Chain A
Amino acid sequence: MDTANVIERIQELQHLPGALLPILHRLQEEFGYIDEAMIPLVAEALNISHAEVHGVISFYHDFRRAPVGRHVLQICRAESCQSMGCNSLIEHVEKSLGVSLGETTADGNFTLRPVYCLGNCALSPAVMLDGQPYGRVSAAVADSLIENVRRHA
């Protein structure tokens, strides 16, 4: 971990009121995840305890304490997407990638994550791949998305 860089990122935002979430987002964006060693640095900058920082990281689904795959595929499993068969889509993708929701493929290429609503409910089932939305995702569409990533890997 590049400690100086981490401290610099923290310093950029620590003046904000309620700075903890913005800081954690920035660190994750920059380094891919929140390393254990960053916690004391954040705590010290904000003058709060390690436990408080840890408590916030563990409360929110977004914050990760370990690296994820090079590509993150989020599949919506909320009600609207359920009504359009997202559960079978998830099964299909789990089989194609050989992982379950929440896991990363052995080659580190994909992390498969559940998400509860992407706001694309008129075009369910919906997924998001590396921040890009896709709607009306059939098994075939999902396969081509995955294939496309693999080809460019």
Chain B
Amino acid sequence: MRVFVPCDSSALSMGAEAVARAISKQRPDATVIRNGSRGMFWLEPLVEVETPGGRVAYGPVTADAVPGLIEAGFLEGKPHALCLGLTEEIPYLKQQERLTFARCGITDPLSLADYVAHGGFRGLERSREMTPEAIVEEVVNSGLRGRGGAGFPTGIKWRTVLNAVSERKYIVCNADEGDSGTFADRMIMEGDPFVLIEGVIIAGLAVGASHGYIYCRSEYPHAFRATQRAIAICYEKNYLGERAGFDLEIRLGAGAYICGEETSLLESLEGKRGQIRPKPPLPAIEGLFGMPTVVNNVISLATVPIILDKGGAYYRDFGMGKSRGTLTIQIAGNVKHGGLVEKAFGVTLRQAIYDFGGGTASGRPLRAVQVGGPLGAYFPESLLDTALDYEAFTEKKGLLGHGGIVVFDDTVDLAQQARFAMEFCALESCGKCTPCRVGATRGVEVIDKIVANQDRAKNLEVLDDLCELMLDGSLCALGGLTPYPVLSAVRHFPEDFYASH
């Protein structure tokens, strides 16, 4: 009999390791498989058992609960207080449209046989029979846009690199997922790393690159190790290496948020300080070591295999407006049912937070939501009907970013959140441009003065000016978007800036 206990970091953070050990110890006859997470984190560790009728879920399971579960016959899928029924029938999961995450949580992340049995490498096989131009056009037709945050059409980027003439080209995967409230990249790297590797190999075929790097943040040691092992397995089986004509290496960042910015990331990969490069030239023309380079986010690359397998049109049929396909929504912060929800673009914030998230964890009224990480705007309850779509968010002066939602209840102080945005920018600024390097520090000071009621009206004006300067004058998104959380806090929650705290 087969039992699944996730090895995902979030599951581990709730004691999955001890649960796996307890099951193995008491029932050595059971095969314990360490799968990825299904993304229903409030139920972690979510243990599943295979039954003739499908996989049955139990959660959240603690090591202490294991003897009772075994006694109740959970290995045969029998009832228990922690039983959640058939996993696939859990509404949170059933209502999703999982394309990128089709296998995550189902397979053993490091079993190539499992990967292939669940549709793995079909996209790669199809790509091998196509011309580079045809692969690129398939991705263009899919409408896939960069899931890292900027939302630039992936296929167009690839086309630029394909058309660049060079002896050497690179594929770089940006796995520096630093935005608070996001964990989709981590889940893929821990739960289905082969799909990312497949995506990188296809990108290489598409643009004529023979080398790839995955730049993983150091805060993700488990994701790093899982992907590193998956790469080694692909070398053993000749999916990578000389015979495959493609080399892939995973590199570790060193705790710098700015390295999530693509040019900074390239500098870091070259062994330098992670300082921004002015654009142009675009990395697609002059990227890593001066060569044409595709820089794509983990989710963008992990979505490529299904596009090549089922065709661009299949993927494009999901979604709304100019946002095609699915969005991996990450529901986080002060929320009851935090987790990963992959759905076609078009879900509203309210649906994500209430229908999936179940409202605040504290049970107190929701007051603010930050979408898109530390550079995303704070939205009040009145904007919750905004659809999770690139254009819809831009229209409301927000940022969809990597699709992470952080929920705050009514104890939040938006003046403090605005201050933190500036503080974080000052801490993580690479120092290359003055609006960001100096502006962020001044921003903290000005907000402190406003909160302390020193010339409040004047200082609010200064803050406005400063934000405008950072928006217009910064070299990259760190300085350029830090005004988003700050100005949105002032605009939507002025009362927090008007009373001294």
Interface residues of chain A, those whose CB is within 8 Å of chain B, are 17-22, 24-25, 46, 52, 55-56, 59-63, 78-84, 115-124, 126, 128, 131-136
Question: Are B407's CB and A123's CB within 8 A?
Answer: no
A122 interface neighbour in B41, B177, B270, Cβ under 8 Å = B41
Question: Known: A20-B272, A79-B333, A118-B219. Contact between A126 and B255, CB under 8 A?
Answer: no
User: B425 → chain A, closest Cβ, in Å?
Assistant: 12
Check if A59 sits within 8 Å of B12, measured CB to CB. no
Tell me the bound Cα distance from A120 to B338 in angstroms: 10
Neighbouring A residues of B338 by C-beta, 8 Å: 121-124
Partner of A121, one of B42, B222, B256, B333: B333
Given contact pairs A122-B41, A122-B330, a sample of 9 additional A-B residue pairs in the complex whose CB atoms are under 8 Å apart? A18-B271, A21-B269, A80-B180, A82-B417, A83-B333, A84-B334, A120-B183, A122-B339, A135-B14
> Could you write out 25 A-B pairs with CB less than 8 Å apart?
A17-B289, A18-B272, A19-B271, A25-B218, A60-B274, A61-B256, A79-B181, A79-B333, A79-B417, A80-B332, A82-B420, A84-B361, A116-B178, A117-B177, A119-B9, A119-B10, A121-B332, A121-B338, A121-B404, A122-B338, A122-B339, A123-B41, A123-B42, A124-B333, A133-B222
The residues in B between 1 and 38 inclusive whose CB is less than 8 angstroms from any CB of A are 9-10, 12-14
B183 → chain A, closest Cβ, in Å? 4
Q: Which of A82, A115, A134 contacts B219 (CB 8 A)?
A: A115
Instruction: Please tell me if B415 contacts chain A, counting CB pairs below 8 Å.
Output: no
Residues on B with C-beta less than 8 A from A20 are 271-272
Name which of B222, B271, B430 has the most chain A CB atoms within 10 A of its CB. Answer: B271
Answer yes or no: B56 CB below 8 A from chain A CBs: no
Complex contacts, B255 vs chain A, CB 8 Å = 60-62, 115
A110–B412 Cα gap in the complex (Å)?
A: 31
Contact of A117 with B268 at beta-carbon distance under 8 Å, contacts A21-B254, A59-B256, A83-B409 already known: no
| Minimum CB distance partner of A124 in chain B | B333
Task: Give the CA-CA distance A78 to B223 in the complex, in Å.
Answer: 20
Q: Name the residue in A52, A82, A131 with the highest tally of chain B Cβ atoms < 10 Å from its Cβ.
A: A82
Point out the residues of chain A lying under 8 angstroms from B458, CB to CB: none
CA distance A21 to B220 in the complex (A): 16
Chain A residues with CB under 8 Å of B406's CB are: 79-80, 83, 121
Q: Are A56 and B13 in contact (CB under 8 A)?
A: no
> B177 CB to closest chain A CB, in angstroms?
6
**Chain B neighbourhood of A83, CB < 8 A:** 333-334, 406-409, 412
Enumerate the 6 nearest inter-chain pairs by beta-carbon distance, A residue then B residue, closest first: A122-B338, A20-B271, A121-B332, A78-B180, A60-B254, A61-B255
Smallest distance from the beta carbon of B373 to chain A beta carbons, Å? 8
Query: Min CB distance, B205 to chain A, in Å?
Result: 22
Contact between A62 and B181, CB atoms less than 8 A apart:
no
Minimum C-beta distance from A102 to chain B (A) = 12
Bound: A63/B254 CA distance, A: 7
Chain B residues near A19: list those with CB within 8 A. 271
Closest chain-A Cβ to B41's Cβ sits at a distance in Å of 4
Which residues of chain A have C-beta atoms less than 8 A from B292's C-beta? none
Question: A125 vs B115: C-alpha distance in the bound complex, in angstroms?
Answer: 33
A84 to B373, CA, bound (A): 16
Query: Do the beta carbons of A79 and B374 come within 8 Å of each other?
Result: yes
Q: 1/0 contact trace for B237-256 toward A, CB 8 Å?
A: 00000000000000111111
The answer for the CA separation of A134 and B289 in the assembled complex, in Å, is 39
A79 touches B254 (CB 8 A): no
Convert B328-359 into 0s and 1s, putting 1 for each residue whose CB lies closer than 8 angstroms to a CB of A: 00111111001110000000000000000000
Q: Is the CB of A123 within 8 A of B252?
A: no
Tell me the smallest distance from the CB of A106 to a CB of chain B, in Å: 25
